[in-house]
Amino acid sequence: MADRYALDRELSVATELGTREFRGRDLTLDRPVRVRTLPAGDTRAEEFLDAARRAAMITDPRIPRILDAGTDLTAADGTATVFVVEEFVEGRSMSDLLRSGPMKPAAVRALVGEVASALDVAARRGLHHTRLTPDDVVLGPDGVVRVRGVGIEAALEIDPPALSPARAAVLANRADAVALVALVYAGLVARWPALEALAPHAGLPQSPTTDGEPLPPKDIRPDVPNDLDTLCSVTFGPHEDGPRDPAELALQLAPWTMAPWEETLRRMRGEAATKEFRGRLKNRDEVVPEEEPPVPFTRPHTTARPPRDDSRLVLAIVGAVIVVGLVLALWQLSRIAVPDIPTSAASAPAPATTSAPAATSAPAVSPSAATPPPVTPIVLPVASIAALDPQGGGESSATAPRAIDGDPGTAWESQRYNSATFAGLKDGMGLVLDLGVEADVSQVQLTDGGDGGSVSLLTAPGPALDGSTPVASAPAGGAQTLTPAQPVRSRYLVVWFTQLPTTDGVFRARVAEIAVTGTIPTQAP
């Protein structure tokens, strides 16, 4: 391990599990990594490595990638050590976010809903967490919620009971579902439920109890929504009720959006930009006062006299602008019609014979002035994009911006379903685009994958399906163009899947890029 990974500092020591965690650096690719180690003589070492290798097969962006796993024979104390290397997740853990107090219910719903969806993806590959705490949930500045420890934590269970694989999966799903509800509870009241079934968490105070059960969150915070209060009460109650697996919980929390986190994400992006800016200046031996970073993170302008070459360039540009302005002004003057002035009375027009007052005729207007020149359609910018899933199911908005990031190698993907008709769970789902302003849309091009399915283009009065109007449709597989019969004016567009294509052998929608073509209507003076 030492020939590729350098360990910078130790992050934690899980005494009860016998593991250690470090922040390190991949010397080959020059990137930060997170390294977790376990003595090679531990009876769980082989299962630890096997779980890491299986977790490496998961490609969901909400689960950090496993980059390497193996045995290090060059440990400092002479003993062999097994290690797992995963990508280092930037952002704030849920524990950090709760230090300032409870979250808004909508923010809790979105955060835990994303975690539940990620654990559902892992469960379908036979991987679970089983020791989930707020420390394992990280909100990144890119708006993606990530879950650390998937698969690895479950493999570190001490003296696991001898169970059949099917029974073990049932119990692991239930354990993750209960831990997810505990995250809901913690988000609502900033306390960790006092339950023996949960992994210990020292970062939050324990919840008060009544009859040996955590006090319902609504008794601590009266504005807690009834459905979330009921969810916590029945899950922590004596009858082992509540969701049985992460997928069931995701359905109970749906729908959600990341909108409640926008302000937090803006602050995080600003902090990240400040950190990056300071790093660049540090490399150039420049000093920036810690309390007053330049805004908006650009190098301050100098007040010294510019170089002579720069001055000549500026004068040349100014001169060119003046010449172009004079040419345009002369061209406009040449287009003004000058009436002919009669030279004699004989050449004057005959007077009107009617006794009514002469009507004032409108000035002549040239055809080119009366008809504005045609406007060429352009690719319109999309201000924001989000998943639209009004009937629920946990479709994520966190990765929706991948459909407009200009990179065909990234894509937004829906959840997987058992049939092209969403297994009868819903009538459709899709993406809603906000152009920021009303535009005359003439075409929407989609680049996605898969075979079969169908997709429609709708205009909507707002960022929802209510009141929407279908204007075009096409098969969903491959790449297609949605073209209305004539340009349609709207600010909000909905790309709506009514049947799912098959992608990589499963039923799911996938959109790599969306390009909206049209024109911005000119405002009347």
Q: CB of 2 within 8 A of CB of 82?
A: no
Q: CB of 38 within 8 A of CB of 16?
A: no
**In this structure, is residue 245 part of a structural domain?**
yes
| Domain finish residue from 261, 288, 304 | 261
The number of folded domains in the chain is 3
Q: Are residues 52 and 146 in the same domain?
A: no
Q: Are residues 450 and 500 in the same domain?
A: yes
**In this structure, is residue 287 part of a structural domain?**
no
**Domain span holding position 130:** 92-261
Q: How far apart are CA 32 and CA 470, in angstroms?
A: 47
Please compute, for residue 148, the number of CA atoms within 13 A of its CA located in the half-sphere on the CB side: 24
Tell me which of 48-52, 66-70, 298-302, 519-523 is least confident: 298-302
Q: pLDDT per residue over 366-375, tens digit each?
A: 444 445 556 7
pLDDT of residue 297 exceeding 80: no
Report CA torsion sign: 186, 191, 193, 199.
positive
Burial of 42 (0-12, 13-18, 19+ CB in 10 A): middle
Q: Are residues 96 and 83 in the same domain?
A: no
Number of H helices, E strands in the chain: 11, 21
Peptide bond into 296 cis (omega under 30): yes
Which CATH number goes with the domain that contains 231? 1.10.510.10
Q: Are residues 58 and 120 in the same domain?
A: no
Q: Are residues 97 and 80 in the same domain?
A: no
Q: Are residues 71 and 139 in the same domain?
A: no
Q: Are residues 98 and 53 in the same domain?
A: no
Q: Are residues 150 and 47 in the same domain?
A: no
| Domain finish residue from 228, 261, 294 | 261
Q: Which two tokens stand for residue 294?
A: 């330049």
Q: How far apart are CA 226 and CA 21, in angstroms?
A: 39
Strand 137-139 versus strand 92-93 pairing type: antiparallel
Q: pLDDT per residue over 360-417, tens digit each?
A: 444 444 444 445 556 788 899 998 999 998 887 667 788 888 889 888 888 888 888 8
Q: Are residues 105 and 221 in the same domain?
A: yes
What is the rounded end-to-end Cα distance, in angstroms, of the chain?
Answer: 69
pLDDT of residue 300 exceeding 80: no
**In this structure, is residue 347 part of a structural domain?**
no
Q: pLDDT per residue over 28-40, tens digit each?
A: 988 999 999 999 9
**In this structure, is residue 323 part of a structural domain?**
no
Residues of 319-328 as b/e, b for ≥16 C-beta within 10 angstroms?
A: eeeeeeeeee
Q: How far apart are CA 242 and CA 244, in angstroms?
A: 7
Residue 309 CB: number of other CB atoms within 10 A?
8
**In this structure, is residue 73 part of a structural domain?**
yes
Q: Are residues 386 and 486 in the same domain?
A: yes
Q: pLDDT per residue over 109-141, tens digit each?
A: 999 999 999 999 999 999 999 999 999 999 999
Nearest to 129, CA basis, from 157, 164, 97, 98: 157
DSSP state of 93: E
Q: Are residues 106 and 248 in the same domain?
A: yes
| Domain finish residue from 261, 277, 292 | 261
Which residues touch 504 (CB under 8 Å, ≥6 apart)? Answer: none
